[in-house]
Amino acid sequence: MTPPIPLTLIGGYLGAGKTTLVNSLLAGGHGLRLAVLVNDFGEVDIDGRLVVAHDGETYTLANGCICCSFGDDLGETLRGIARADDPPDAVIVEASGVADARRLAASTGEWFGFEHHATLVLADAETVRARSEDPYVADLVRSQLAGADLVVLNKVDLVAESDVDELLAWCRSIGVDGPILPTTNGRVPIEVLTSVPAGRSPVDRVHDDHHVPFSSVVVRPTGPWRRTQLEAALASLPPEVVRVKGFVDLDDDGVGRRVVVQLASRRTRITDAPDRSAAGGDADDEPVLVVIAVGDLDPAALAAALPDSTIARRPGRPDSFLSAEV
């Protein structure tokens, strides 16, 4: 059976930087074949050096990605992608600036062949608070933010560092309970946007013109967990955590099995692991989880949430652990 294609929704009010993010994805050296669907096709400034074909409302790029407009019928466009002989690795949907991404995400169950990975909502650090108090758009802006699995606080280079801290606190005060990623120019690591491993380590998309600190912690269970214990542990992680990936052993009622764990923003997926020995891997590999967070993640803070484990900070550059295979 063909596995579902991960689908990520990108929302946010007008001018937040959604199209800039789309352009960086299309030009990125991530090694993935993406299908990027947009409402307003004319605003996407695709690098002409990447274009190998242009058919109506679809651009095919040399890196294997496509970009197309879905107009008024997103479902029909997705059905066409699902029926393709060679479907993409992942789908990114840029919602209209006046769309409520939460409502759009609720309809993902109707799109057969796809799995909702996460909903990202961009916010303009310069204008989001003013928008949130505008009597005409305040309800929409606040609803967009509250419905996000991950809020991308964009354009932080245009405000003072103290203002960024105040914005983070303000987001929490209006009900944002998921991770918040400060960034510039819509730069978001591809590993946050999709659960599909990138073909190579990402270039310094996030870190070149405004440093966004990430931290990584390695968790090694000292024995098998129960599924309820694993689910409770993942649910209790700090909101700064944007990614968890790896595999652990479960032992429920004496029946042991290995599972793959994927957490992106606030969405968790636990699935049976493939037969590693049949795939040429080592069946005796030790279980391990890599936890990635925005900011400095203290290993001691994870000890209560992840019992019966050894926990250690992972050294290295953020781009190396964001793309690490476990």
* 170-182 pLDDT per residue, tens: 999 998 888 888 9
Q: How far apart are CA 111 and CA 300, in angstroms?
A: 41
Q: How far apart are CA 231 and CA 269, in angstroms?
A: 10
Nearest Cα to 307, choosing from 206, 209, 216, 234? Answer: 234
Q: Is the dihedral of CA 194, 196, 197, 203 positive or negative?
A: negative
Comparing 37-41, 133-137, 150-154, 274-278, the range with the smallest average pLDDT is: 274-278
Per-residue pLDDT, averaged over 93-103, amounts to 83
Q: How far apart are CA 264 and CA 243, in angstroms?
A: 5
The secondary structure of the chain in percent helix, strand, coil, rounded to multiples of 5, reads 25, 30, 45
Give me the domains of the chain, ranges plus CATH numbers: 5-193 (3.40.50.300), 214-322 (3.30.1220.10)
What are the angstrom distances between the C-alpha of 181 and each of 1, 186, 292?
A: 35, 10, 12
Which residues fall within 8 angstroms of residue 102, CB to CB, at 6 or more apart?
A: 119, 143, 144, 146, 147
Do 53 and 164 contact (CB within 8 A), yes or no?
no
> Which residue(s) pair with 180 in the sheet?
151
Given pLDDT bands bounded at 50, 70 and 90, which one contains residue 229? confident
- Write down the pLDDT at residue 286: 83
Which residues fall within 8 angstroms of residue 15, CB to CB, at 6 or more apart?
A: 97, 124, 127
* 53-76 pLDDT per residue, tens: 877 778 788 888 888 888 667 888
Higher pLDDT, 219 or 266: 219
Q: Is 165 buried (19+), middle (13-18) or exposed (0-12) by CB count in 10 A?
A: exposed
Per-residue pLDDT, averaged over 112-134, amounts to 90
Sheet holding 241-252, edge to edge: 267-272, 255-264, 241-252, 288-294, 214-221, 309-313
Q: How far apart are CA 178 and CA 127, in angstroms?
A: 21
Given pLDDT bands bounded at 50, 70 and 90, which one contains residue 324? very low
Structure tokens at 97: 């600036």
Comparing 13-27, 38-52, 79-93, 308-322, the range with the smallest average pLDDT is: 308-322
* 74-92 pLDDT per residue, tens: 888 888 888 888 889 889 9
| pTM assigned to the model | 0.73
Given pLDDT bands bounded at 50, 70 and 90, which one contains residue 117? confident
